[in-house]
Amino acid sequence: AMSSSSYKSLLREKAFVNGQWVNAANRESFPVYNPANGELVCKVPDMGAADATAAIAHAQVAFEAWRGKTPSQRAALLHSWERLIQDRCEDLAALMTLENGKPLAESRGEVAYGASFIRWFAEEGIRVTGQTLQGPTPDKRIFTLKQPQGVCGMITPWNFPAAMITRKAGAALAAGCTVVIKPAEDTPLTALALCQLAADALLPPGALNVVTCSRSRAAEVGRVLTTDPAVKHVSFTGSTDTGKLLLAQASSTVKRVTMELGGNAPFIVFDSADVDKAVAGLIQAKFRNTGQTCVCPNRIFLQRRVSQKFLAKLCERVAEMKVGDGFEVCWLLGCWGIASSAHGLMRKQFSTSNQGEFDKGSEGELHKRSEGGIAQAAGTQLGPLINAAAESKLERLLADAKQRGGRVLAGGQSVKVGSGAGHFFQPTVVSGLGRDSACFREEIFGPLVAAFEFDSEADVVELANDCRVGLAGYFYSADVGQCWRVAEQLNVGMVGVNESMVSSCIAPFGGWNESGLGSESGVGYGIEEYLNLKTVVLNLA
Ligand code: ADP
pLDDT in tens, 392-426: 999 999 999 999 999 999 999 999 999 999 999 99
Residue ranges around ligand 1 (CB below 6 Å): 155-157, 182, 184-185, 215, 218-219, 222, 238-239, 242, 245
Q: What is the DSSP letter of 139?
A: T
Average pLDDT over residues 200-213: 98
Backbone φ and ψ for 494, nearest 5 degrees, come out as: -140, 130
Question: How far is the centre of ligand 1, averaged over its atoms, from the C-alpha of 170 (Å)?
Answer: 21
Cβ–Cβ under 8 Å, residues 358 and 112: yes
Give the other-Cβ count within 10 Å of 468's Cβ. Answer: 12
Distances (CA, A) of 116 to 99, 408, 479, 496, 498: 22, 39, 34, 21, 24
Q: Is the per-residue pLDDT at 155 higher than 60?
A: yes
Percent of the chain with pLDDT over 90: 89
Question: How far is the centre of ligand 1, averaged over its atoms, from the C-alpha of 326 (Å)?
Answer: 24
* Atom from ligand 1 closest to the CA of residue 237: 10
Active site residues: 260
Percent of the chain with pLDDT over 70: 90
> What strands lie across the sheet with 140-148, from one edge to the other?
132-134, 140-148, 531-539
* pLDDT number for residue 368: 37
Average pLDDT over residues 310-332: 89
Average pLDDT over residues 84-96: 97
Average pLDDT, rounded, for the chain: 91
Exposure class string for 60-76: b at 16+ Cβ within 10 A, else e: bebbeebbeeebeebbb
Average pLDDT over residues 214-228: 98
Q: Is the per-residue pLDDT at 168 higher than 80?
A: yes
Q: Is the per-residue pLDDT at 340 higher than 80?
A: no
* pLDDT number for residue 329: 77
Report the alpha-carbon distance of residue 63 to residue 152 in Å, rounded.
10
Report the nearest-CA residue for atom 18 of ligand 1. 218
Report the alpha-carbon distance of residue 506 to residue 470 in Å, rounded.
20
* Atom from ligand 1 closest to the CA of residue 184: 14
Ligand 1 pocket check: which of 99, 237, 242 to mutate, most ligand atoms within 8 Å of Cβ?
242
Tell me the ipTM for this assembly: 0.99
Band of residue 5 on the pLDDT scale cut at 50, 70, 90: low
246 compared with 370, residue with greater pLDDT:
246
CA nearest to 60, candidates 169, 148, 190: 148
Count of helix runs (H) and strand runs (E) in the chain: 17, 26
CA nearest to 41, candidates 156, 161, 165: 161
* pLDDT number for residue 112: 98
Question: How far is the centre of ligand 1, averaged over its atoms, from the C-alpha of 184 (Å)?
Answer: 7
Give the other-Cβ count within 10 Å of 39's Cβ. Answer: 13
Q: Is the per-residue pLDDT at 276 higher than 70?
A: yes
Band of residue 343 on the pLDDT scale cut at 50, 70, 90: very low
Q: Is the per-residue pLDDT at 359 higher than 90?
A: no
Give the other-Cβ count within 10 Å of 498's Cβ. Answer: 15
For every residue of 284-321, which 3-state class applies, written as one string? HHHHHHHHCCCCCEEEEEEECCCHHHHHHHHHHHHHCC
Question: How far is the centre of ligand 1, averaged over its atoms, from the C-alpha of 328 (Å)?
Answer: 30
Report the alpha-carbon distance of residue 239 to residue 249 in Å, rounded.
16
Report the nearest-CA residue for atom 23 of ligand 1. 219
Distances (CA, A) of 474 to 123, 267, 288, 488: 30, 5, 15, 12
Question: How far is the centre of ligand 1, averaged over its atoms, from the C-alpha of 370 (Å)?
Answer: 43
CA nearest to 22, candidates 33, 11, 9, 13: 13
Report the nearest-CA residue for atom 2 of ligand 1. 239
- The contacts of residue 337 (CB under 8 Å, 6+ apart) are none
Cβ–Cβ under 8 Å, residues 67 and 125: no
DSSP state letters, 371-439: HTTEEEEE--SB--BSSHHHHHHHHHHHHHHHHTT-EEEE--SEE--TTS-SBEE--EEEES--TTSHH
Q: Amino acid letter at 79?
A: H
Average pLDDT over residues 34-54: 98
Report the alpha-carbon distance of residue 229 to residue 150 in Å, rounded.
11
Report the nearest-CA residue for atom 4 of ligand 1. 157
Cβ–Cβ under 8 Å, residues 479 and 456: no
* pLDDT number for residue 330: 52
Handedness of CA 6, 12, 16, 20 (dihedral sign): negative
Q: Is the per-residue pLDDT at 486 higher than 50?
A: yes
Question: How far is the centre of ligand 1, averaged over its atoms, from the C-alpha of 421 (Å)?
Answer: 23
* Atom from ligand 1 closest to the CA of residue 386: 3
Average pLDDT over residues 354-372: 36
Average pLDDT over residues 199-212: 98
Q: CA 448, 348, 111 angle in degrees (round to 5)? A: 75
Q: Is the per-residue pLDDT at 373 higher than 60?
A: no
Cβ–Cβ under 8 Å, residues 468 and 407: no
Distances (CA, A) of 227 to 177, 213, 273, 337, 358: 18, 18, 50, 62, 39
Question: How far is the centre of ligand 1, averaged over its atoms, from the C-alpha of 266 (Å)?
Answer: 25
Q: Is the per-residue pLDDT at 106 higher than 70?
A: yes
Percentage helix, strand, coil for the chain under 3-state DSSP, each rounded to 5 = 40, 25, 35
CA nearest to 212, candidates 483, 375, 409, 12: 12
CA nearest to 247, candidates 338, 210, 239, 255: 255
Report the nearest-CA residue for atom 25 of ligand 1. 222
* Residue-wise pLDDT tens digits, 180-196: 999 999 999 999 999 99
* pLDDT number for residue 379: 86
Backbone φ and ψ for 228, nearest 5 degrees, come out as: -60, 125
CA–centroid distance for 401 within its chain: 28
* pLDDT number for residue 352: 35
* Atom from ligand 1 closest to the CA of residue 185: 16
CA nearest to 180, candidates 189, 325, 190, 191: 191
CA–centroid distance for 99 within its chain: 15
Distances (CA, A) of 486 to 138, 285, 370, 434: 49, 19, 44, 21
* Atom from ligand 1 closest to the CA of residue 225: 25
Report the nearest-CA residue for atom 15 of ligand 1. 184
Ligand 1 pocket check: which of 46, 99, 155 to mutate, most ligand atoms within 8 Å of Cβ?
155
Helix (H) or strand (E) holding 83: helix 71-87
Burial of 358 (0-12, 13-18, 19+ CB in 10 A): buried
